Amino acid sequence: MSTKVIVIGAGWFGLAAAKTYLQVERNVDLTILESGETIGGTWSRERVYPNLLAQQRYGRYEYSDRNIEIEGGNRNAFVPALKIHAYMNEYAEEFGVKERIRFKTAVTRVVRNEDGKRWDVWINDDSELMTCDRLIVATGLTSKPILPRIPSEDFTGRIFHSRDLGTQYDYITSPAVKNVTVYGGGKSAIDAIYSCVTNGKHVNWVVRKGGGGVPPLLTGVANGKVLDDFATSRFGSKLHPSLHTNDWWHWALHSGKNFLGQWLHWKYWGRATSSMQTNVEYTKSENMSKLTPNIVDHGAYWINVGPAVLTQPDIVDWIHCGCQITVHRNTIENLEGDRVHLDDGSSHRADAVIYATGYDVIQPAFSLEEGANLGLPTPVKQCPPEIAAKWDRLEAIGDKEVVERFPRLGKPPPHKKLPVSCTPYRLWRDMVPLPLLSGEKPDRSLVFVGTVKSYSTSIMSEAMALWTVAWMSGRIHPGKSLAEMEHEVAVSNAFARRRYLNLGHKFTYQFYEFLPIVDNLLREIGVKSQRKPDAITDLFEPYVPEDYRGMVEEFKKTHGISNGEEIKKEK
């Protein structure tokens, strides 16, 4: 009898997991449950719109075994969101995944089956039950929008989250809308603002003073070089601390044991920060000055708010001009009539309000008790005391270890520490719930993918997908005790908090150190991690998804899996 596998989510990570599972185990009974109407998750048709671009360029945002066709011949252009959606749709069709997707199928509840081995997945308001041997949760980090509680009963315009801008695009660009308020300071806010101003609207951009602030506004190019190329090279990764490296570069730059190396390292980040600030000229206009990041000293190194790559650089001129974009550093008090009222007593007109206020990380399909036990984000006030106490102790030990290993992380710049509302993910290898590893034999029935914020979603997704299949099929083993794995998770979370400050409390943030993490995952499953032809190229050239082409076949060969299981359809 074939193994029954359910993948929840048909976004980037979900497609990678499903395609890889089918490639390795041809006869598996696999179904993908997708709450939306189309493939893509963040890049689904209902969520994308004209002018929306990914923060990565051609060749950087694709799967390893199929390139996105370049429009206009400019490989360094940012990839249009509509093109990503079309690409994902074609990819799913080509590899036999699309026919296995059930659209408009929302998972409402996940519980352990009474046999203690399988999982019961209730869908569409508990109207249908599906039971599986293996469950892969790939709902990602942008599924559940956060909507601020702002009194708005008497507001006459439309209110919606930036997640819904795709379905609201015709309305927001119509002649009926002249004034739009965008609330929030991240990349999604910038994308919404750009779409509005290029369609002739006036935008009041409201960013709270009390939050984490505005992200560094990056043009994607520094000193004439594409930032992606540097950040995704091994040399670029050496300039960032990582738990997964302990080489000469770590000793020279991060250990605190080499004065010259530490000085040069900090000098570099000081110059990088100056370059970043010069690119957008924060002091050139009053409007732009309101968007100065909270952390100024070596702000290019310290990540407190997720960086925003300006995929449409001309928005900088719009902001400086102030003719169609007015920046406010305020909190919205209420919405009434056609007015938005701010906490300084001022108000302005709005025909529509877009909340670009982020997403909730809680997995709603699991009960709070089950989620806390599995190591999923849980409201701090509702986390069982014994679990909270255990992890407070483990993470305190982990924090001490992190500071000893990376002294600079023990001296963060002054910054406002935001209240922590949820516990972090506590998953081994950022995928496997620790309680499933407590028995004599590991329980391989449940894995979470897509819980990590990484510089390269593409590379990370495929590495995690292949590791997941290797794990679930019993082809790799922990090789360590539960206590050791708990310690690893605690150290990883402590590192994220030190390295990424407020962001590290909210997400599993592994932005700049993704390459050493991918190396580790691939080594564990017997796949070559250094994919370049020679040592010099491997150190200095950027890593792109295409470098990992063929790694599934390499894995199959290593583990003696028949090549006859290839699933790519004949054309």
Among all chains, which residue has been given the structure tokens 């999604």? Answer: 188
The pLDDT of residue 518: 97
pLDDT of residue 563: 56
What does the pLDDT read at residue 213? 73
> Quick one: which of 493, 489, 495, 561 has its CA closest to 525?
561
- pLDDT in the model for residue 569: 37
Residue from 165, 163, 193 nearest 179 by CA: 193
The pLDDT of residue 155: 97
Q: Are strands 29-33 and 4-8 parallel, antiparallel or unpaired?
A: parallel
Beta strand 325-328 with 202-206 is parallel
CA 33 vs CA 119, 131, 239: distances in Å: 14, 13, 40
Below-70 pLDDT ranges, the chain? 221-225, 296, 563-571
Tokens at residue 98, please? 């699309």
Planar angle of CA 328, 56, 295, nearest 5 degrees: 40
8 A C-beta contact, residue 352 and residue 171: yes
Average pLDDT taken over every residue of the chain: 93
Tokens standing for 499? 């390295």
Handedness of CA 346, 350, 353, 357 (dihedral sign): negative
Residue written as token pair 């949820």: 422
pLDDT by residue (tens digit) across 345-397?
A: 999 999 999 999 999 999 999 999 999 999 999 999 999 999 999 999 999 99
Tell which residue, 284, 243, 241, 233, has the closest CA to residue 455.
Answer: 233
The span from the CA of 266 to the CA of 272, in Å, is: 10
pLDDT digits (tens, 9 = 90+) for 480-503: 999 999 999 999 999 999 999 988
28-80 per-position pLDDT tens digit:
999 999 999 999 999 999 999 999 999 999 999 999 999 999 988 788 899 99
In the beta sheet, which residues pair with residue 233?
A: 542
pLDDT at 571: 34
* Placement of tokens 């046999």 in the chain: 115
> Residue 203's closest CA among 309, 351, 96, 334?
351
State how far the alpha carbon of 534 is from the alpha carbons of 354, 488, 530, 538, 541, in Å.
49, 32, 9, 6, 10
Strands (E), 245-287: none
pLDDT value of position 223? 57
The residues, any chain, with a CB within 8 Å of residue 248's CB and separated by 6 or more, are none
| Site of tokens 């990678």 | 16
Res 224: pLDDT: 58
Q: Which of 1, 193, 166 is nearest to 84 (CA)?
A: 166
Torsion angles phi and psi, residue 330, rounded to 5? -145, 175
Secondary structure (DSSP) of 407-438: GGGGSPPP-PPPPP-BPPP-EETTTEEGGGGS
From 519, 509, 512, select the one nearest 548 (Cα to Cα).
519
pTM over 0.85: yes
For residues 243-260, one letter each, b for 16 or more C-beta atoms within 10 angstroms of the residue's C-beta and e for the rest, the string is bbbeeebbebbbbeeeee
What is the dihedral sign for C-alpha 406, 231, 304, 148? Answer: negative
Sheet strands (E) in 188-287: 202-206, 217-218, 221-222, 225-226
Instruction: State the pairing for strand pair 332-337/339-342.
Output: antiparallel
Domains of the chain: 4-144+361-562 (3.50.50.60), 147-215+305-357 (3.50.50.60)
Residue with tokens 């899996």: 561
Gap between the Cα atoms of 179 and 350, Å rounded: 5
**pLDDT of res. 222:** 61
Instruction: Determine the number of helices (DSSP H) and then strands (DSSP E) in the chain.
Output: 17, 29
Helix-strand-coil split of the chain, %, nearest 5: 40, 20, 45
Q: What is the pLDDT, as a whole number, of residue 277?
A: 77
Give the residues across from 217 on adjacent strands. Answer: 308
